[in-house]
Structure 1
């Protein structure tokens, strides 16, 4: 499976989207449900739109299927047994079926077609060649039509998604220093709000339309923000357009907006009624927080950054100190429990000290002898990425490997069935974030 779809510009590239839960944290029950929706989306794409359409399967899209089922009255017909699949180690499985999976498939196709056209316009990789670009446009056009048919079959008008795609390009062309970042994310928010709200219609919960539209709007904002944060360095190196760089938004401000969006999603979920909302709550109220931490390179629960993330004018610990405050302090107060100074024997730069000979900051030559590692490889073009994605699928690495390289972004990714070890800090606790949203789970 390839890496589609974050919703940046309704088409930034992130492996399977931003919500990539660890199976260890989900537990066996929720992991089984999650995999049922992932496989259900993949099979809905194949059943309604053909085998090739399965390449647009993505983590974020399956949330639509999760939300639909979470609101529906439980009855028979929500699951079926699927045959053996290489991505499941040639095992059968119970997979989700029904209108939620079909809506997720339609939305995924339309957004994937937008991504293909975006690659064509940018002339990425092989798409810079005219014959390949012509073929890619035909694929995108076919996905547009297939998505429209699939949406119509479940009562969803995909025109709202296409309109958002068209408006996004115009907004980005006009954005510059001083432009609000929320102006840039608005088309994404509108599109995801419409998709989330329609799950309430499918489930027969009209009272949930408003809160889920709000949750979808903020989810779109968050996906756009995190994709921009993760890609900012690579975009700067390649000269590609990036929302944060173009608008002059700092990472500290982006973090504040991301945390506010997560808080708003949690509040919106409280206002919605679910028959069984455990998986939806875990993905949207908790795993999104981990997605924020992952994008900003932090490990702790997202709500803990209210203290540290915005101090010092930039994202990260307060200047001159670590996460505990000023450099003279620390977790033990103003005095070092080892009797003062560097417990390893020397001042910074001195023998035995950090950065000095024998220290852990430099080599035998002392400060300045550290050599940076090799530069990060650039992104692959669309067709090259497709070829790598096919290889990953055929070898089951997407599902079974501990880590693998993303086909397009070349970022390090975890296999979707990989259960992290019990020694992974912050991963084994089932729900340490619950205090911040009072979910009681």
Structure 2
């Protein structure tokens, strides 16, 4: 088992790291100032300035998988990107996680990444030309509408939004929330999941359809906050869909295939979150160590108190373990496919946010009152990472899958004789 990075893996990681250190980090104060000036729901100039620079340097659409890893994709459709493997992208995404807005500079922001993969894998040529091309060019943004306030959306079969055929159209009715991205004025497209056959089978009644955000009947009723943060200009909205008509040609893959698309979309998306979260955890550990070594309490540096030695050591151990699990999941996805990596994906999806939240909490504690204020990014980062414990499926659902896999290994245990200890 070789843990050494290949030249190509190191090449892309180092290029992303260098771009962040030389181009993005020096502009962070500009980003903060621009994001808090005037209307919160706007395009941030500094991001738009840096996007063409990253694109010119070949650091664009890095999440896009190698063409050879895609099936049923029209070879005549050209897409721009370095076609990194999941493992190669994992290393880059960790670097992007160190600064929250870095991903957009590389056109690697959620939910656009997942939506672009859906369009690439399952969209028709016409759908790609209309929506995927401007998304890949960074000209528009998109949203993914799945979760609903009236049902437990952790079980997607509960979804009540309807997508009913009416002549040459589909009519969409429902209420969605945590629709990330709808606050951005460039959000032009939403992929909506709902029931196209209310009488269909448990996993065969759901479909996904492309819905223009400016279609009549689409209303962003409110923007939601996360522990008081609005996450502008991206944001998370509650959206009402009232007799929204879209052409039948907007259906993705076909009626009843929503779960199939969801599994193809959520696998990579789940692990992308985990990759970035490891970067957030590294930031928190660095902030904690710097704070502890620069402050004195009870006659000695705070870092010299044994309780903090234990916490810092635990943080480093947990980050290293989580990174290895994340890279293993990415490697299995590359070698055997997303389905074969479902257990590894589930494990890192539970582990990464839990790990990062503990380190962030310790870092907040190390900063005292400053840690919960806006003077440091720790409180904001904690609030953002906390959402990942239920985004793309709550911990409990993933833990259930892990446990069932484990139970399955010993399904015949009752037929074996028991042995006294």
Per the TM superposition, whether the score is higher than 0.5 is no
What TM-score results when the alignment is normalised by the length of structure 2?
Answer: 0.26
Higher relative helix content: 1
What TM-score results when the alignment is normalised by the length of structure 1?
Answer: 0.26
Higher RCO (CA-CA < 8 Å; seq separation 6+): 1
